[in-house]
Amino acid sequence: MLSSKQQAFAEDVEKVAEGFNDDAYTWNGDPPWKNLQRLAEAGVYCPSISEKYGGQGMSDLASMLLIEAVSRECPDTGWFVYNQCAIAPRAIDLFGSESVKNEYLPSVTSGESYISIAISEPDAGSDVSSMNTQVQKEDNKFVCNGEKTWVGGVPFADAAVTWVKFPEGLGSVVLPLNDSGITVEQTYTNMVGYNQTHFSINDVVIPEENILTRGEQGFKQQLISLNWERLGSSALTLGWAEAGLEHALSYANEREQFGQQLNEFQGIEWKLAEMYRRIETAAAVVYQSAAGADGGNHAPSRLHTSVAKLHSSQIVEKVVSEALQTVGARAYQQGHPLEYLYRFARSRRIAAGTDEMQLNTIARTLKSEGVPTVSER
């Protein structure tokens, strides 16, 4: 159950998000800047980022509530909120120098700029240990060389939090995307109409203050960031699944077939009930993982976040598919909200760590740590 403060925050978000309905399902990859700025003006955007940089200094659970509530009303705005509240800017807030925070965070929290995340590489994919992007110290300067691919938001991003290898191990840096050493090699367009970019990094000098994490402790910090990314993705998919159920329920309440309302057929009732059951079980996993966790000092466990990511990514595809089946042929047409949602939903079983990566993480954690006890819930 939410605290009174959390409930009031969620209600404030819902009031703002209701105004996104008119343009929902029309963005097709364009940044919904006006929606982000409306959230910022209402004082509910980037709630977990420190107040000093324009956030509200609230717990990360507030970000989960924001992401879910917004994505339920507008899937595109939800995607942008998720990326700016749970991924790259949050990593800068948690691990960055004062200099890099001051440079990038205020414009993000005001809804005026975007920071990407760059992890995948052409020859490494999900295997971060095989990454080839490196930072070497040359003449007292940190110089970065390598390649990144499947990076979202590059055309409108100011920078990318980029995973790299230092001589002592994995790390991450804030990479300015306007540097002359950044070359776009190829731009892809995914099923939802969003651009994903493959770019090369050639002798880009990284200011020391732009180094977020490095070495053994740095990799642990990066894993914390991954855990929050997975929970953010889970909250995003909850909102999309709820939107799918609402479309199916609205149609069933209005449509007549064979002389009676569609919602009176037991087969349809069972579909609606099953969709809701899936959503609520996923929500329980997500918010159990987020409850009591905060930032880097009390981060959620990788076991719980992988379970949440895996479960929510699978249920949103199932729920939206069943909603589409309920509505029928019209929902299969381009431009229908459920067709739009289905393309979004399918992406989450790949993005933010594939199903297979989550299964690997769950299995390895169980083998090394055993099944959590009742007291560890």
Q: Look at residue 9 and tell me if it is in a domain.
A: yes
Q: What is the pLDDT of residues 291-342, one digit of tens each?
A: 877 765 677 889 999 999 999 999 999 999 999 999 999 999 999 999 999 9
Q: Look at residue 294 and tell me if it is in a domain.
A: yes
* Residues of the chain above pLDDT 70, percent: 99
Average pLDDT, integer, range 110-138: 92
Last residue of a domain, one of 162, 178, 206: 206
Average pLDDT, integer, range 82-107: 97
Confidence of residue 56 (pLDDT cuts 50, 70, 90): very high
Are 131 and 172 members of one domain? yes
Question: Residue by residue, what is the 3-state secondary structure of 51-109?
Answer: HHHCCCCCCHHHHHHHHHHHHHHCHHHHHHHHHHHHCHHHHHHHHCCHHHHHHHHHHHH
Domain with 10, as residue range(s), is 4-114
Average pLDDT, integer, range 51-72: 96
CATH classification of the domain holding 132: 2.40.110.10
Are 191 and 248 members of one domain? no
Residue 84 corresponds to which tokens in the numbers above? 């700016």
Q: What is the pLDDT of residues 263-294, one digit of tens each?
A: 778 888 999 999 999 999 999 999 998 887 77
**First and final CA of the chain: distance in angstroms?**
16
| Predicted pLDDT at 263 | 74
Q: Look at residue 258 and tell me if it is in a domain.
A: yes
Give the residue with greater pLDDT, 256 vs 189.
189
Average pLDDT, integer, range 110-135: 92
| Predicted pLDDT at 359 | 97
Total domains in the chain come to 3
Q: Is the pLDDT score of 348 beyond 90?
A: yes
Are 222 and 370 members of one domain? yes
Average pLDDT, integer, range 238-249: 97
Q: Look at residue 21 and tell me if it is in a domain.
A: yes
Q: Look at residue 281 and tell me if it is in a domain.
A: yes
Average pLDDT, integer, range 252-266: 79
Are 56 and 182 members of one domain? no
Are 242 and 371 members of one domain? yes
Are 319 and 291 members of one domain? yes
- What distance in Å separates the CA atoms of residue 119 and residue 128, rounded to the nearest whole number? 8
Q: What is the pLDDT of residues 3-13, one digit of tens each?
A: 899 999 999 99
Q: Look at residue 330 and tell me if it is in a domain.
A: yes
Are 226 and 289 members of one domain? yes
Q: Look at residue 212 and tell me if it is in a domain.
A: no
Q: Look at residue 211 and tell me if it is in a domain.
A: no
CATH classification of the domain holding 285: 1.20.140.10
- What distance in Å separates the CA atoms of residue 62 and residue 11, rounded to the nearest whole number? 12
Last residue of a domain, one of 86, 114, 142: 114
Residue 142 corresponds to which tokens in the numbers above? 């940190």
- What distance in Å separates the CA atoms of residue 24 and residue 289, rounded to the nearest whole number? 29
Average pLDDT, integer, range 200-205: 98
Last residue of a domain, one of 84, 114, 144: 114
- What distance in Å separates the CA atoms of residue 66 and residue 39, rounded to the nearest whole number? 10
Average pLDDT, integer, range 243-252: 95
Q: Is the pLDDT score of 357 beyond 90?
A: yes
| Predicted pLDDT at 156 | 96
* Residues of the chain above pLDDT 90, percent: 83
Are 372 and 239 members of one domain? yes
Per the prediction, the chain carries an average pLDDT of 94
| Predicted pLDDT at 362 | 96
Are 223 and 354 members of one domain? yes
Are 300 and 361 members of one domain? yes
Give the residue with greater pLDDT, 291 vs 350.
350
Are 80 and 102 members of one domain? yes
Q: Is the pLDDT score of 259 beyond 80?
A: no
Q: Is the pLDDT score of 69 beyond 80?
A: yes
Contacts of 275 (CB under 8 A, 6+ apart): 241, 244, 245, 248, 319, 322, 323
Q: What is the pLDDT of residues 146-196, one digit of tens each?
A: 999 999 999 999 999 999 999 999 999 999 999 999 999 999 999 999 999
Are 199 and 329 members of one domain? no
| Predicted pLDDT at 298 | 73
CATH classification of the domain holding 34: 1.10.540.10
Average pLDDT, integer, range 28-35: 95
Average pLDDT, integer, range 13-37: 95
Residue 363 corresponds to which tokens in the numbers above? 């299995």
